[in-house]
Amino acid sequence: MSSMKVRFAPSPTGPFHIGGARSALFNWLLARKEGGSFILRIEDTDLARSTRESEENIKASLQWLGMNWDEGIDVGGDNGPYRQTERLSIYKEVTDRLLAEDKAYECFCTNDELEAVREEQKNRGETPKYNGRCSHLTEAEKEKFRAEGRTPTIRLRVPLNKTYAFDDMVRGHVSFESNGVGDFVIVKSDGIPVYNFAVVVDDHTMDITHVIRAEEHLSNTPRQMAIYEALGWDTPVFGHISLILGKDYKKMSKRHGATSVEQYKDLGYLPEALVNFLALLGWAPEGEEEFFTQDELIKAFSMDRVAKNPAVFDIDKLNHINFHYMKALSDEELLQLCLPHLQEVGLAKETLNEDDKARLTLLCTTFRDHLSFGAQIKDHVRFLLEDTVTLEKEAAEELKQVLQEETVAIVLDTFKTKLTELDELTPDTVKATIKAVMKETELKGKSVFMPIRVALTGQMHGPDLNNIVTLLGVQAAVSRLDNYTDLLK
């Protein structure tokens, strides 16, 4: 193993967002490519919003996507624990050191006092920052505050007139002036460290060499650099990856459709397709190829081909990629992908016998070429769910014309009679029956297929007619053939 160590450090505050999955993936790909290690750390210091349920969702989603971690939550390692709320004693030790070295200090200001100062600064047209009121308190002053019942926060002393500069793997040279930062809180009055502090302590004590994370953390980086500096620690290499935007160039949100990994899983997307798609959200491969297996991604991935500009989430592209991976599914796998959706509309029971399986497999394979993801099967099964046929609205006139041909009555009647005489209904026997209808009526192709299809489905086009008839079954087919004139009303 190389000494490269990267980490994914999600806050477990909700379902695992695809943006988080993309950050995890870039870290994971880099670690796998460089022979380094990938750590999973849970940043749960936001006590009000963090839940175990969300943590489980993140872990299950990472596993589903095939991103295993070498060190971290559940699997352990030399630098644990890997959940921040279990590391409070570690942060306390570092805080004590900063206090002892006078690099941090206790601040007794209340929220109302801080708010009042911020208001004054704003009124003067200044950018609000801490005014340093508690930066040089005497022991007696501190005692007085304590006696008033105030519990202090801990603030870092941020030096003035400093430039925090670094070379970001994605954004190039970045610099911030320390004067805008002000002494900021690193530990809240309840003893819980803030994100910027805990992340530095963890990244350092876990020997993280490269920090790849979302662009929204770029402005946190100077604060983190101030903490590294106060502690005399080296900073890791940073890489801030761009936002994911919807097609309207607005930040990806629920408005744009599914946003969590679990939602895509539930919709019947394949993990290898989602990984392939996420990799292309911000990373550009060298050639024209758009399909990459996980191994191919590991080989091809490099941070220097990660773009600075925002990535646009294009659902059509995801569908295109998923369609590609679905082609490799066996009939059985295709059924498993569609099954929950067939159950949802009542076409499949909880447990399937062999006959159910055969019928549902036929159903799924019939529409295979029309499916970009599993849930789309629901768009195609209406003909099985409704007792009567309705003509497809946009083509109603054309469809009526088909049924008004003078040979229609004889075609449908002959077909119906032959159907009821069949011993077994399969696509092959249906095919033979249609052939027999042609022979008997002395009509060819279209004049036979078309009226049968329209009478049974209300549509001009669709997948294999032999399969459609088989899926409908004799009874439903006969009833539709009997009632086709209703469609002309």
Helix axes 195-205, 221-231, angle to 10 degrees: 50
Instruction: Tell me how far, at minimum, the Cβ of 69 lies from ligand GLU, in Å.
Output: 14
Instruction: Tell me how far, at minimum, the Cβ of 11 lies from ligand GLU, in Å.
Output: 4
The bridge status of strand 185-187 relative to strand 153-156 is antiparallel
CA distance 266 to 192: 36
CA distance 130 to 79: 34
Determine contact, residues 462/456, Cβ cutoff 8 Å.
no
Between the CA of residue 239 and those of 22, 107, 116, 208, what are the distances in Å?
Answer: 13, 33, 37, 13
14 vs 463, beta carbon nearer ligand GLU: 14
254 is catalytic: yes
CA distance 388 to 248: 40
Q: Tokens representing 222? A: 């100077």
CA distance 114 to 191: 19
State whether the Cα torsion 119-123-124-127 is positive or negative.
Answer: positive
40 vs 267, beta carbon nearer ligand GLU: 40
CA distance 290 to 311: 16
CA distance 282 to 280: 6
Q: Which residues bind ligand GLU (CB under 6 A)?
A: 9-11, 43, 199, 213, 217
Q: Which of 122, 251, 254, 265 is catalytic?
A: 254
Task: Report which DSSP code applies to 231.
Answer: H
Strands, sheet with 104-107, edge to edge from the N-terminal-most edge strand: 104-107, 153-156, 185-187
Cite the active site residues.
254
